[in-house]
Amino acid sequence: MQTAQPLSNRTYLETPENVRLAFRLAGPGTRLGAYGIDLVIRIAIFYAVAYVLTQLQPFTGTSLTTGVFLVLAFVLEWGYGAFFETWWNGQTPGKRTLGLRVIKTEGYAIGFYEAMLRNLLRAADFVPLFYAAGFIAMISTSRLQRIGDIVAGTMVIREKRPELKGELAGLTDYDPFPMTEFEHRFRPSERTLEAIETLFRRRLDLAPARVDEIATVLAEPMGKRLATVEQQRYADEQPSYFLFRVLRSARGSSSSSSSSSSSKAPAA
């Protein structure tokens, strides 16, 4: 349930378990900075390939070289963002540098469809001059969405990894989950890891069946990104254990030293 007010830098979502999650929205200035970084990278790629094509022109001919130039310009303009946002879980190099991420308005990770749609619709955001329509749309929506975000059902949030709060006693009881089992170099977002950490801290206060029931909400969409059917089945059948192993992979290095002196808790 959305409760953020227009121009607020926060929006809130409520899970089926009545857990309220807060997201810090990325404003126009920060997003423009990320776009600038990506633009510099795209220009560098274009000129690097252009240099190579120029050197090969005596062998390939002018027509072929011109055709490659046009295809390259199209791919960099419309495919660059879609490619990285799909493979890097909602981030481009520019967004990753500034700690931004694109997610669905329901709080889940985006897929290829959303990434492609929001990037193709940058043409609508650009009119009449330099993303004027997109800017107007952002300041007119409570989640600071440009036209492409509204149509694709996405929003851009700011991520800042928080310092580990307290000890995660018992986390070392779980073997780290090999992140190579995920497709497309997927990594859980900080917001997802925070939700898993909250569940981990409360696991002993809840019945095991209830822990698995809550864990399924995150384990189900995350499990779909696993590369093998066996691992997908494992995520479905043991959702809490799967999530805690993922948490161990992400937080283990931070918590191992603090939890080594704590008594181990039984696995959920």
Under 8 Å between Cβ of 252 and 176: yes
Check whether 264 has a pLDDT greater than 60: no
- Residue 224's φ and ψ, nearest 5 degrees, are -65, -15
pLDDT of residue 268: 35
The SS3 assignment for 109 reads strand
Confidence band for 236, pLDDT divided at 50, 70 and 90: very high
Rounded-to-integer distance, Cα 206 and Cα 147, Å: 43
Rounded-to-integer distance, Cα 75 and Cα 120, Å: 11
Question: For 121-189, where are the alpha helices, taking DSSP H only?
Answer: 122-126, 132-140, 147-152
Rounded-to-integer distance, Cα 207 and Cα 203, Å: 8
| 7-40 residue pLDDT tens | 457 777 765 545 567 788 998 999 999 999 999 9
Q: Which residue has the higher pLDDT, 85 or 2?
A: 85
Q: What is the mean pLDDT of residues 136-163?
A: 86
What is the sign, positive or negative, of the torsion defined by CA atoms of 103, 87, 37, 190? positive
Cis omega before residue 128 (within 30°)?
yes
The model's pTM: 0.61
Confidence band for 116, pLDDT divided at 50, 70 and 90: very high
- Residue 56's φ and ψ, nearest 5 degrees, are -90, -5
Check whether 130 has a pLDDT greater than 60: yes
pLDDT of residue 206: 82
- The answer to which of 42-51, 73-82, 163-172 has the lowest mean pLDDT is 163-172
The amino acid at 136:
I
Rounded-to-integer distance, Cα 143 and Cα 27, Å: 9
Rounded-to-integer distance, Cα 197 and Cα 251, Å: 9
The SS3 assignment for 14 reads strand
